Structure 1
Amino acid sequence: MLEEADADLIGFFDELFRQATLASINNKYINGIKADIGLYLETSEVSASSIDILANIGLSVSRKTVNRQKTFISENHQYTVNNYCLQNIENMFILNIDNYHYIYRRNQLTLLKIYDINHFVTILLNSNPNIPKIPYYELHNIPIHNPKDVDFKLIINYINVNFISKLEKELRSMKNNKLVDFILYPLHNTKDYIEFANILFKVFEKIEQKDYFNNFIIPTICD
């Protein structure tokens, strides 16, 4: 209507809309950079007041925004883990529980220590779309578990001959992996590994697959 009343306005609102759209896209990327800076500062143990000061001068987001974003990332990650398990529920899974050491030198040495050493538990799940899930019971209802202990030489030979030698290079990549969790904790004994393996059991309960482990197995590598 305005363009009909004033010919000079013809095309003005279309151009204004395009400029507003470009500005919003620009603001989106700028805000994304600020959020990344805020997360980096928080993980670097910068104080909340320092982060808020940088937010006030436009270089970062506030500490409250960082906390909300961390909560969102955590909740979204749990969703992706659940979705990964459901999508690959008919395929073979392999679980890896690893004790990861993070060691770095302190820039300002103290009288007590010159290194900070942190121990993390990495819980990694791998699936192969070309191999079906492994049943607990073989033919004639014989369980896969061997009650007479494990013949490790036979297992190693079987793995080397029938698996490793035939494994294609692309299957050794990280593309089929899913990080289930990454926890600050030192792994010391078998009890610790079993405790963190239970995290995967809880995931299967959430996706209503709690009977999975009554019928199928997931080989677990504990390093």
Structure 2
Amino acid sequence: MEGGSTHGSSKRCMVKICKGSPTETWKKITNNVLIKAEANRTLASYYRDHKDEYICMGCYNAIVVNTASSFKEHALNWDNGLKRHRNSFSISESISLLTNFIFEREVLDGEPPVFSFSQLRLIAVNKNNDLIFFFDQIEEMACLDKKTEAEKRELERSLAYQCYLMCWNQSRVIPLWNLHESEMGSDYFSWVDGVNVLSKFLYDREKVEQKPAIYSFKELRKEMVAKDIRLSSFFNSIYNATLLDKKSDKYLDKLDKRLVVECYIICGNQNSKLMAFKEDISLFLDLIGLSAKALDALLHAGITISRRHLDRKKIEIANNHSSLIESYLENNKYNALALNVDDYHNIHAKRMPNTCSTSTMAHMTTLLLNRINITAIPQMTLNNASIHNPKLIDFELICNTLDHFYMERMAKTFNDRFYYETFLDEKLENLTLHNYDARITERQEERKMKDTILLDFFELKLEDVVSYISALQRVYENSLLNNYLTNSVIPVIADWPGQVFI
């Protein structure tokens, strides 16, 4: 059962990241709660150990209803922590590993000491992944999950010193720095230094490595800090300036993209040759119909490129499209592919009749290919049978499914199926036919267009079988797809009436 109850002194929320907000409503952890949490990927394994205990309404909504990102991350980190704990070293063994690492880094290689706990953790774990559990234990003992961002910043230097002190107690060769000395020295890495270093890395990534812009602050931070650990403090200053403890989880998800935009704008002011981000923004604004004057106005704000530059970019994209398709098909020749055939009409065009036609409206056809992260679908099964159903529409299979699955359930009334006493919330959930919000959230990653490519775009009115065959003929004209279809099949996704015509 999952019913609410009034606040009692004996009740305590067992979620480890609970913020402890005052509440008068509690939820019992039932099988239903565990099943939904597992479906939402917010299930930390220790919830099962506390079955029939209570959680506060705020944690219940975050776990079951809203699928909060922080609770997803907590569940993932908890399960990963259990795996590491089973295979981790003892504290003394971890200190020995860290001592050897610091000795090699600072005594043999002459590197400066690390005054920040987060930086020390990142450097040490990159060197030896077995130290993760050791640093997790230190964070747990310091109760970092209950500290504010300001308190965490104050503990950065103290926790790093404690790590050095434990290593120094094991080996006096390790240099032990003074906890109370100022960090501001000749090796101080300023915020301006961070902009300079990040600008150089982004320039090399765009011009030398020919890679696109990154639109996730977390991904940008991970990739750049791996190249230079000093950038950790630079990204921390940008992230902490947003006052995270006062923001909701939904706002933090949006913030991930806003912060990366700020990084590109800041570095673009330092190096005007960083164009990948500006080109993407300009192409998007041009697509939604922004005027040339507005685009040039944003150029002076350092956000977009000029109209002439944009025209050259579009010509370049069009010329490179065929090679882009070849590269896409070559890289995904062992993956399953799905083809979408759809029509496009510029129905908002002005109707200007002339001697030949009454309208300038065009009927276009789009062919989209989407990669699926499974192996290619073979034409023949393991027992050498075709995957195609020779009956096309098997009415016997449909009737049997309707009779034995749906009709048996529909023949019973709601009270017959649930005659026992249940809480109102559970009754309402059983009456729910489909939760579209949960479905969309659950399949959010699959709904993205990042693995989709435009195979072709041409003028054709999809209105009968002949037109759909003509559209599919474009697929067979591609040599790589033709070879792909000799052994594998590509499911075709189409709306009505394409489903009938194909």
TM-score when scaled to structure 1? 0.56
CA contact (8 A) 1:104 1:116 kept: no
Match of 1:147, SS state, is: coil
In structure 2, how many angstroms separate the alpha carbons of the residues matched to 1:94 and 1:152?
26
Q: Deviations over 1:96-123 (max 9, x none)?
A: 01011211153xx757799642211010
State which of 190, 197, 200 in structure 1 corresponds to 2:465.
190
Q: Secondary structure at the match of 1:179?
A: strand
Q: Which amino acid aligns with 1:132?
A: T
* Superimposed CA distance per residue, residues 7-26 of structure 1 (whole angstroms, 9 cap, x where no aligned partner): xxxxxxxxxxxxxxxxxx97
**2: CA distance between counterparts of 1:152 and 1:92?**
28
The answer to whether structure 1 residue 174 and structure 2 residue 449 are counterparts is yes
Render the CA deviation track for 1:197-219: whole Å, top value 9, x for unaligned.
1222222x1x4x63321211000
In the alignment, is residue 137 of structure 1 matched against residue 412 of structure 2? no
Taking the aligned partners of 1:85 and 1:192, their CA distance within structure 2 comes to 25
Choose 1 or 2 for highest CA Rg: 2
The correspondence of residues 78-117 of structure 1 with structure 2, limited to 5 A, is: 78-106=322-350, 116-117=360-361
**CA RMSD of the aligned region, Å?**
4.3
User: Which amino acid in the other structure matches residue 368 of structure 2?
Assistant: L
Asked if 1:74 corresponds to 2:318, the answer is: yes
CA–CA distance in structure 2, aligned partners of residues 91 and 28 of structure 1:
34
Cα distance change, pair 201–71 in 1 and its aligned pair in 2 (3 A): farther
Conserved? CA contact 1:119–1:185, under 8 Å: yes
Query: What residue identity is the alignment partner of 1:118?
Result: A
If asked which structure has higher relative contact order (CA below 8 Å, sep 6+), I would say 1
Partner in structure 1 of residue 363 of structure 2 = 119
Contact 2:353 2:359 in 1 (8 A): no
- Taking every aligned residue pair, what percent have the same amino acid on both sides? 32
State whether residues 93 and 218 of structure 1, in contact with CA within 8 Å, keep that contact through their aligned partners in structure 2. Answer: yes
Change (3 A) 1:84 1:105: closer
| Number of aligned residue pairs | 166
Unaligned runs of 5+ in 2: 1-270, 287-305, 402-437, 496-502
Q: Which residue of 2 aligns with 1:148?
A: 391
Q: Normalized per residue, which structure has more strand?
A: 1
Within 5 A, what are the aligned runs for 1:22-61?
none
After TM superposition, list the pairs within 5 Å mapping 1:4-19 onto structure 2: none
User: Contact 1:96/1:221 (CA < 8 Å) preserved in 2?
Assistant: yes
The alpha carbon displacement at 1:189 in A equals: 1.1
Secondary structure of the residue that 2:469 maps to in structure 1?
Answer: helix
- The alignment's TM-score, normalised by the length of structure 2, stands at 0.27
Q: Secondary structure at the match of 1:211?
A: helix
Amino acid at match of 2:488: F
SS of residue paired to 1:171 = coil
- Paired AA for residue 145 in structure 1: H
Distance in 1 separating the partners of 2:332 and 2:451: 10
